[in-house]
Chain A
Amino acid sequence: MSQELKKLVRRTLESQSLGVLATLDKKNPYENLVAFVSSKDLKNIVFSTAVYTRKYANLKAFPQVSFLVDTRSNSEQDFHECVAVTALGKAKEVGKEERDKILRLYLKKHPYLEDFVKSPSCRLLKIQVKKYIIVSEFQKVQEFSV
């Protein structure tokens, strides 16, 4: 079962370019759409952001995040077919030692973001995922820890 669920998560993450990143702005939640890539073992989700953004400031103050990826198509079918994956974890900047490897992975999925992500005012971050919560078939909720 757990393998099937992992496959579903992987498939969902690989099928989407953008996910919703939720950070905390003092006491208020704050969300952004970000371009992401996930590692094969599902332990990390990588995204990038410019440094002078609210989300970056929020993450500096409070690194816990929730990250949503879903397959909705804005139609009635979504209630039966849509899969929503929420990853919970902690975001941190990608360290020098692994930057090249992670950057390659990220740019393989988003080659058009090369200029953006290589800019000195941009940061590459990874969410170290603790837990995935998977919602499918409208109300079927499953979860697993990484």
Chain B
Amino acid sequence: MFILPVEEVRENHRLLVGGKGFALARLWARDLNVPKAVCLTADAYRSFLVQTGLDKKILMEIHRKSLDNARWEEMWDTALRIRNLFLHAKFPRDLAHAFREGIDDFFHDTPVAVRSSALGEDSAQDSFAGIHESYVNITGIENILKHVKLVWASLWSDAAILYRKELGLELKKSVMAVVIQEFVPGDCSGVFFGKNPMDGDQSVIEAVYGLNQGLVDGTVEPDRWILRRTDGKVLSHATALRIKVILPSRKGVHLVKLDPKKAQVAPLSLNRVQAVFILGQKAEESFSQPQDVEWTFRKRTLYTLQSRPITTERKDRSKDEKSWYLSLRRSFANLQELQIRIEEHTIPEMISESDTMAKQDLSGLSDKDLADEIQRRKKIYTYWVDVYSKEFIPFAHGFRLFGQVYNDKIHSEDPYEFVELLRPRSMFSLERNRMLQDMAALIKLDKKLAQKMRDGRMEDVKHPEFQKLLKKFLGEYANLQIFDELDSAPLKRLSRILLELADSSPHKQEKKLRIARKPISSEQFLSKFKKEDQDYARGLLDLGKFSYRLRDDDNIYLGKIERQMNRAILEGRKRLKPRFPSRYLKCSDEQIIKCLSDKKYIPTLERQKRTQTQRSVWQARQLKGQPAGKGLATGDARVISEESDLFEFKKGEILVCDAVDPNMTFVVPLAAGIVERRGGMLIHGAIIAREYGIPCVTGIADATALIRTGDSVTVDGFLGLVIIEHRKK
């Protein structure tokens, strides 16, 4: 049975129509004014999956890597690929026929809401509220069917996969039913909580003007009433800053400014508050437990949209990093606000912070003042690391949101094609690399210059153009800490890299790559949107581009601040040299501060444990990760365990590292391939690899332990494989 009208749903249909469909049927039976609805059953979902082969394809995707080891970015990638599978799967003929008949006969051209109703969803134990997708104001059978697929796909979103995993539910048994319900374009909507989680004697009503989508995703702030649970007496009313409202658009919904006159008045009168309270109580009676009810007023009529039991206390998942990221998923409006904050405040403040520190003459400070300055700078750095995780990381959802919309509109087979549209004209790390390559080009042309570089006499170079470039490079990009460590001449390291670059032709490589691509123009993308949605589309494109560029540049802004912290530490370390010539290099930051503040303090060095990795008989032969940069490459591995390893890098080697940090991108043009422990298709290393057309595989757990410098390694950037051909003898 594929379709079941809500009035025909019986007790034994719960596993067929899911929690939401089942609850609606019960509310319908109680005459709680539920808009008419039909359920697409779990059988329909299963049949679609089996007939299209998606069941097996999904299993392939979710077993690509153990979810226990997957980072949130990898989970997002998995979700993106599965979503694309749904978007491209065609409805088998018999299913399409059954759906068309069942749905079209019921609704004709009436706009509907297409809502998720996963099995097990909204049961008392496991609230999936907000985890799966629902779409409102959808008209026409083809459009409804498209959105049915999107609701099904949301069973496999990163949030849904993670949530089910946390609840210990078996992923492969996940099934989704769908409720298709007549859409009510409400004037005022909201939610009712039968029992306030903070105080069991209270009920809560939240209400907004227009539709309640904005309330549910946090875009629109609601008015809130606290009521006495026993009789509905209003105990308090907290008014909101009523600025925005979600209204139906020609297709779907949109966020607009609220009429200022309306903004002066609460969305619900006291009579209506009572009406909602009574509705909530009836819902509670129907299910014999307190309910979380979504409702809407259309003119004078109050409709019940859905109801679910209020879940008991949720366990604290704050320590779970993945859940934390998921909790930071933001709506378009949220992300736009974040963009303004980052562009107008955060970045200028970061630049100003590092510039102010850069101007300070540290050599003139007394030892005590220097100790204080180191501490101050450490605090500043910690502060910005915190800002980074609160603003920049969630802002990465900007290009993810763009990717999702792009895939919905363009229907590209490659779920990552959208990246082409976001590629910036310039990125800090690429600009920096271009300067290095320009210097390398001069070395290539001038034999004398090359010889001086080889002899380690870079300071003797008189070549005016080279000098100019070098000065500019050191001035702009000297935030590479590796260029100013104490124990090695920085210029020597730089010259080694320049000589390697002079021996390669990265510019050509870049060119070749560009030709191989078929970029999609912004105009083509925008043309897919209707006239009234053009502003939204442009805003989204702008958001996507900025968010994508920032993925790279944000680290560099932070890197500049870190460098200023390290400059102070370095100054302190230098001052310790006469006192502790044998140990000044090994002192921790705290020991440096103590030594500077207290002349009598003598640092004791912790004996470093030598962790000798026992070479066992066991060896990795082929490792599986994510294909993050297309292509095939074989070369000797260069494993980056510490920064100095970068300067040993030779042209044609395979870069094997934990994560490509934007501050180490300068070796990428030399690399034939990249292998990264950190997973994801859109992480920095993958972005840069694609820029240079270098095969790249990410998400190889223990990459730096399983591969050794000198191993002959093949990077299969098509399949996401790393093959270790020979071990070093």
Chain A residues proximal to chain B, CB less than 8 Å: 50-53, 111-112, 114, 116, 119-122
Q: Tell me if B721 counts as interface (CB < 8 A to partner A).
A: yes
Using known A-B contacts A50-B716, A112-B53, determine if residue A121 contacts B60 with beta carbons closer than 8 Å: no
Contacts of A116 in B (CB 8 A): 719
Chain A residue nearest in CB terms to B632: A121
Sample (5) of A-B pairs whose CB atoms are under 8 Å apart = A51-B632, A53-B723, A111-B56, A111-B57, A112-B57
Taking the nearest CB of chain A, how far is it from the CB of B698, in angstroms? Answer: 17
B96 sits at the interface (CB 8 A): no
Cβ of A79 to closest chain B Cβ, rounded Å:
31
Q: Is the CB of B718 within 8 A of A52?
A: no
**B714 at the A/B interface (Cβ < 8 Å)?**
yes
- Indicate if B59 sits at the interface (CB-CB under 8 A): yes
The reply to whether the CB of B622 lies closer than 8 angstroms to some CB of chain A is yes
Query: Across the interface, do A119 and B718 meet the contact criterion of CB distance under 8 Å?
Result: yes
Contact partners of B622 in chain A: CB under 8 A: 52-53
A-B contact count (CB 8 A): 36
Contact indicator A122/B53 (Cβ below 8 Å): no
Chain B residue contacts of A122, Cβ below 8 A: 718-719
User: Which of these, B59, B716, B721, contacts A112 with CB under 8 Å?
Assistant: B59
Q: Is the CB of A121 within 8 A of B718?
A: yes
A50-B721, A52-B721, A120-B632 given. 7 additional CB < 8 A pairs?
Answer: A52-B714, A52-B725, A111-B57, A112-B56, A112-B57, A121-B716, A122-B718
B214 CB to closest chain A CB (Å) equals: 38
B60 touches A112 (CB 8 A): yes
- Alpha-carbon distance between A120 and B630 when the two chains are bound, in angstroms: 9
Using Cβ atoms and an 8 Å threshold, which residues of chain A touch B716? 50-52, 121
- Whole-angstrom CA separation of A124 from B248 in the bound complex: 52
Question: Which 9 A-B pairs give the minimum distances between C-beta atoms?
Answer: A111-B53, A112-B56, A119-B718, A121-B718, A52-B723, A112-B57, A112-B60, A52-B714, A121-B716
Shortest Cβ gap from B727 to chain A (Å): 15
**CB-CB < 8 A to B719: which residues of A?**
50, 116, 119, 121-122
Measured CB to CB, the closest approach of chain A to B699, in angstroms, equals 16
Task: List A contacts of B630 (CB < 8 A).
Answer: 120
Could you tell me the distance in whole angstroms from the C-beta of B89 to the nearest C-beta in chain A? 11
- Most chain A C-beta atoms within 10 Å of own C-beta, residue among B56, B60, B719, B721: B719
- Please give me the residue from chain A that is nearest to B60 by CB atom: A112
B662 → A minimal CB distance (Å): 29
Given contacts A53-B622, A112-B59, A112-B60, contact A120 B53 (CB under 8 A): no
Q: Whose C-beta in chain A lies nearest to the C-beta of B715?
A: A52
CB-contacts of B676-729 with A (<8 A) = 714, 716, 718-719, 721, 723, 725
B714 contact set on A, CB distance < 8 A: 52
Q: How many residues of B contact A (CB 8 A)?
A: 15
Considering the chains assembled together, what is the distance between the CA atoms of A116 and B714 in angstroms?
17
Within the complex, what minimum Cβ distance (angstroms) separates A109 from chain B? 10
User: Which chain B residues lie closer than 8 Å to A51 at the CB level?
Assistant: 632, 716
Which B residues are in CB contact (< 8 Å) with A50? 716, 719, 721
Q: Which of chain A's residues have a CB closer than 8 A to the CB of B56?
A: 111-112
Q: In the complex the two chains form, is B718's CB within 8 Å of A120's CB?
A: yes
In angstroms, Cα B60 to Cα A51, docked, is 21
Chain B residues contacting A119 (CB-CB under 8 Å) are: 718-719
* Alpha-carbon gap, A53 to B722, bound state (A): 11
Q: Measured between alpha carbons, how far is A111 from B59 in the docked complex, in Å?
A: 12
Per-residue contact bits, chain B 50-68, to A (CB 8 Å; 1 contact, 0 not): 0001001101100000000
Which residue of A is nearest B621, CB measured? A54
Give Cα A50–Cα B723 distance, bound, in whole angstroms: 11
Chain B window 617-643, contacts with chain A (Cβ cutoff 8 Å), 1 for yes, 0 for no: 000001000000010100000000000
Interface centre among A116, A119, A121 (most CB of B within 10 A): A121
Name the residue of chain A whose CB is nearest to the CB of B630: A120
B618 to chain A, nearest CB (A): 17
| Cα–Cα, bound, A120→B627 (Å) | 12
Nearest residue in B to A114 (C-beta to C-beta)?
Answer: B57
Nearest to A116 among chain B residues (CB) is: B719
Complex-state Cα separation, A50 to B697, whole angstroms:
15
Q: Using CB atoms, name the residue of chain B closest to A107.
A: B53
Chain A minimum-CB-distance residue to B59: A112
A52 — which chain B residues lie within 8 A by C-beta? 622, 632, 714, 716, 721, 723, 725
* Least distance between B47 CB and chain A CB atoms (Å): 16
Instruction: Write the nearest CB–CB distance from B213 to chain A, whole angstroms.
Output: 35
Chain A: which residue is nearest B717 at the CB level?
A121
A119 to B: closest C-beta gap in Å: 4
Query: Chain A residues near B53 (CB, 8 Å)?
Result: 111-112
CA distance A53 to B723 in the complex (A): 8
* Chain A residue contacts of B723, Cβ below 8 A: 52-53
Residues of A within 8 A of B632 (CB): 51-52, 120-121
CA of A8 to CA of B568, assembled, Å: 80
Would you give the shortest CB distance from A29 to chain B, in whole angstroms? 17
Chain A residues with CB under 8 Å of B725's CB are: 52
Q: How far is the CA of A50 from the CA of B721 in the complex (A)?
A: 9
Which residues of B are found within 8 Å of A121, using beta-carbon distances?
632, 716, 718-719, 721
CA distance A112 to B632 in the complex (A): 23
CB distance from B482 to the nearest CB of A (A): 33
Report A126 CB to chain B, min CB distance, Å: 21
Chain B residues in 8 Å Cβ range of A111: 53, 56-57
CB B49 to nearest CB in A, in angstroms, measures 12
Closest to B720 in A: A119
A51 to B721, CA, bound (A): 11
| A residues near B718, Cβ cutoff 8 Å | 119-122
B571 to chain A, nearest CB (A): 50
CA distance in complex: A50, B57 (Å): 19
When chains A and B are docked, how far (Å) is the Cα of A122 from the Cα of B717? 12
- B490 CB to closest chain A CB (Å) equals 39
* Bound: A52/B716 CA distance, A: 8
> How many whole Å from B693's CB to the nearest CB in chain A?
14
Complex contacts, B57 vs chain A, CB 8 Å = 111-112, 114
The residues of B that contact A53 with a CB separation of less than 8 Å are 622, 723
> Within the assembled complex, what's the spacing in Å between the Cα atoms of A48 and B725?
20
In whole angstroms, what is the CA distance A127 to B53 when docked? 26
The residue of chain A having its C-beta at the shortest distance from the C-beta of B52 within the complex is: A111
Q: Which residue of A lies closest to B58 (CB)?
A: A112
| Separation of A112 and B714 alpha carbons in the complex (Å) | 25
Shortest distance between the CB of A127 and any CB in chain B (Å) = 22
A19 to B723, CA, bound (A): 23
Q: How far is the CA of A114 from the CA of B630 in the complex (A)?
A: 17
Compute how far the CA of A111 lies from the CA of B50 in the bound complex, rounded to whole angstroms.
11
Cα of A52 to Cα of B633 in the assembled complex, Å: 11
The answer for the CA separation of A121 and B632 in the assembled complex, in Å, is 8
Tell me the nearest residue of chain A to B61, going by C-beta.
A112
Q: How far apart are the CA atoms of A26 and B700 in the complex, in Å? A: 31
Q: How far, in whole Å, are A28 and B183 apart by their CA atoms in the complex?
A: 69
Give Cα A146 to B57, complex, Å. 35
Task: Tell me, in angstroms, the Cα distance from A119 to B56 when the chains sit together.
Answer: 19
B681 CB, min distance to chain A CBs, angstroms: 14
Which residues of chain A come closer than 8 Å to B721, judged between CB atoms? 50, 52, 121
Please report the C-alpha to C-alpha distance between residue A119 and residue B630 in the assembled complex, in whole angstroms.
Answer: 10
Residue of A nearest to B725 (CB): A52
Give the CA-CA distance A93 to B60 in the complex, in Å.
25
Q: How far is the CA of A122 from the CA of B53 in the complex (A)?
A: 21
Interface hits, B328-383 → A, CB 8 Å: none
Interchain CA distance A50-B627 in the complex, whole Å: 14
A122 to chain B minimum Cβ distance, whole angstroms, is 7
A17 nearest CB across to chain B (Å): 10
Complex Cα spacing A114 to B719, Å:
12
The A-contacting residues of B in range 59-86, CB under 8 angstroms, are 59-60
Binary A-proximity of B384-426 (CB < 8 A = 1, otherwise 0): 0000000000000000000000000000000000000000000
